A and B are shown apart, each in its own frame.
Chain A
Amino acid sequence: MSEFFAMGGYGLYVWGSYGVTALVIVAEIVWVVQRRKVLLKRLARMSRLTKG
């Protein structure tokens, strides 16, 4: 198991690559979901204001 994580001495480079890839992908997903939430809230408020 620890041999797997060591990646033949290249662990830092290999996991640094895969780790950051995973991180930015998760960040992008969180970002767009958040964007939609905020947007829908704003539109709902707009719709309440116009229709009373």
Chain B
Amino acid sequence: MAFAGINWFKYSSPATFYPLAGKMMPWFAGLAAVLTVIGLYMSFFVAPTDYKQGEAYRIMFIHVPAAWMSMFIYVVMAVYAAMGLIFNTRLSAMMASSLAPTGALFTFLALWTGALWGKPMWGTWWVWDARLTTELILLFLYIGFMSLEAAIDDPRRATRASGLLAIVGVVNVPIIYFSVEWWNTLHQGASISLDKAPSMATIMLASMLVMTLAFWMYTIAMVLYRVRCEILERERHSEWVVALMEERK
């Protein structure tokens, strides 16, 4: 694997990562902006009207990427939390904390857009079926992670407790993913086969992938920005942060 050659532990030092994150952030933010413009253009002007759902299906272009992100981010967050617990690397815990709010945001968006899509298509905003309920549990897991971390004063204990919650909660992710297969549900299975005509499915799939990529870039930019705050906050007594603040005067 390509990344095996890089010494990742070198970058796991907050002092090294802080300036690096600062340099990378604008690139990801820029990519996110460009991809969003392209994705929105494709979603509204290139993708044709669905023969069954009319224009309402255009909600899919943010609903599905948001739902994917909500699950991806949780897994990445749990991996960082696990690395923090196992290797005791400070940066891993900071990355986990930085991912949580954006993960919660995408979970909320998946639920919100799902409700707005469910109303015209199923005739209801909400049903207590497996897919929707497990996604709601995911939102509670994110909120629980953030609250637990905020509620404990000692940062090391806060990290350990919230990290453990993140790791245990990861079992929910495959349940969300396979819920549409394991249980009878209103929620459709494969979203990309909405339209049976292959040429249309391709452009719909492409729009959705561009939006997903835009959300990914946004998430990375947001996490890099937030982890810099996290680093400054937790390392504020360390020499390099004190020196940095001296320089800024």
Which of A's residues lie within 8 Å of B, judged by CB? 4, 7-10, 12-14, 16-18, 20-21, 24-25, 28-29, 32, 35-36, 39-40, 43-44, 46-48, 50-51
Contacts and interface: CB of A to CB of B under 8 A. Distances in A.
A13 B56 contact: yes
A44 B244 CA distance: 10
Q: Secondary structure at chain A's binding surface: helix, strand, loop or mixed?
A: helix
Contact of A28 (B44, B102, B236): B102
Interface stretch (B7-15, B111-119, B132-140, B181-189): B111-119
B117 A17 contact: yes
Given A10-B120, A32-B222, A43-B236, A17 B59 contact: yes
Given A8-B55, A16-B116, A28-B222, 6 more contacts: A14-B116, A17-B63, A20-B109, A32-B222, A44-B245, A44-B248
B56 A44 contact: no
Interface residues of B, number: 36
Contacts of A17: 59, 62-63, 112-113, 116-117
B153 interface: no
B58 interface: yes
B116 A13 contact: yes
Interface string B19-42: 000000000000000000000000
